[in-house]
Structure 1
Amino acid sequence: MSGTGPTEGPHPLVLLLQEFTLEANRYVDAAGGRKDMHRTDLNALAVIMRHTDRGAVVTPGVLRKELDLSSPATTALIDRLDQSGHVVRERGSTDRRQVELKMTPKAYQDGSAIFAPLSRHMGEALAAFTPEELEVAARFMAAMVEATVAAREE
């Protein structure tokens, strides 16, 4: 090393985000595994729920694009979710050729069981912060999500 001083590494907040991501992945793997669900299964349900909440139709193509899967992998995923009772395929009301994916009550029940402990612990952690601190944290996280999307699309 020359006399210029130590090389600066990532900002401590970036390191904490990396650690959070790792721990979140570990949580999903462990909690999902208790329900015999893979991370991809849970990601698929999250995509379906997000689109459904917005009033959008979810098709296999939407799922394929959102999860960056091949067509055969998407079919296998949907088959797995259908067989486990988490998703049903329905023909579109306007275009009978189009298949729409809908979550079942079992999907919502299992999702709640998987994520309730995480939600409870996160809620307890959030309670230690003021509304102003949470506003700053929310702005920070939104900026980090935007930066991550921009890097992925670059």
Structure 2
Amino acid sequence: MREGVMPADPERAAALELIHRLREVALRLELAIGEFARTAGLHATDVRALIRLLDAERAGLEATPGWLAGQLGMTSQATTAVIHRLEAAGHIERLRSRSDGRSSRLQVSDSAVALGWQFFGPLLERLITTTEALTHDQQTVLSDYLTTVAEAID
């Protein structure tokens, strides 16, 4: 075995194996997102934007173009191009901000949500079933772990 491929310390090796499994899940999700983008005629960045906008909605956040640019790690000009594509396709709406009448907020359209459920619904149902099979304590540990991993990546 090559140097550095697998740590000699069993605990470190187990942690690395878990990270590799997490990476595998991330890659498989990315492939599903790519397939959705192709079938829906979208850029992969457009799908990431839609996901971020839906995340904001679930969290009760007002998603502005500037907020979206930060979430995507893109310039405001590049984000504007994404917003224009999504608006033209009918996937998002630009609405007046609730907090600042001079700015706009972005909202995913009902038709885009329906399109996403049509494609991802069966996968989400399988993932929900898998997650429901875990005990509450197991779900809590996983949730805490994934939160910490996301923070470590940032």
Taking structure 1 as the reference length, the TM-score comes to 0.80
Distance 1:6 1:76, change over 3 A: closer
Distance 1:148 1:89, change over 3 A: same
Contact between 1:85 and 1:107, CA under 8 Å: does it hold in 2?
A: yes
- The equivalent position to 1:118 in structure 2, one of 119, 123, 129, is 123
Task: Tell me the residue number matched to 1:152.
Answer: none
**RMSD, aligned α-carbons:** 2.6
Contact between 1:32 and 1:114, CA under 8 Å: does it hold in 2?
A: no
2:140 is aligned with 1:147: no
2:114 is aligned with 1:109: yes
Task: Tell me the residue number matched to 1:57.
Answer: 62
Corresponding residue pairs, total: 147
Unmatched 5+ residue regions in structure 2?
A: 8-12
SS at match of 1:129: coil
- The equivalent position to 1:24 in structure 2, one of 15, 18, 29, is 29
Taking the aligned partners of 1:109 and 1:115, their CA distance within structure 2 comes to 10
Structure 2: which amino acid aligns with 1:48? L
SS at match of 1:88: strand
Taking the aligned partners of 1:43 and 1:128, their CA distance within structure 2 comes to 29
1:100 CA drift (Å): 2.0
**Deviation larger for 74-83 or 122-131:** 122-131
Taking the aligned partners of 1:37 and 1:5, their CA distance within structure 2 comes to 40
**Deviation larger for 71-80 or 112-121:** 112-121
Distance 1:131 1:95, change over 3 A: closer
Structure 2: which amino acid aligns with 1:115? F
Taking structure 2 as the reference length, the TM-score comes to 0.80
Task: Tell me the residue number matched to 1:66.
Answer: 71
Task: Tell me the residue number matched to 1:82.
Answer: 87
User: Any idea what the Cα deviations from partners look like across 1:1-27, whole Å, max 9, x if unmatched?
Assistant: 9xx998516711011011111111001
- The equivalent position to 1:133 in structure 2, one of 123, 134, 138, is 138
Greater RCO, 1 or 2 (C-alpha within 8 Å, sep 6+)? 1
**Deviation larger for 41-50 or 93-102:** 93-102
Give the share of equivalent positions with the same residue, in percent: 29
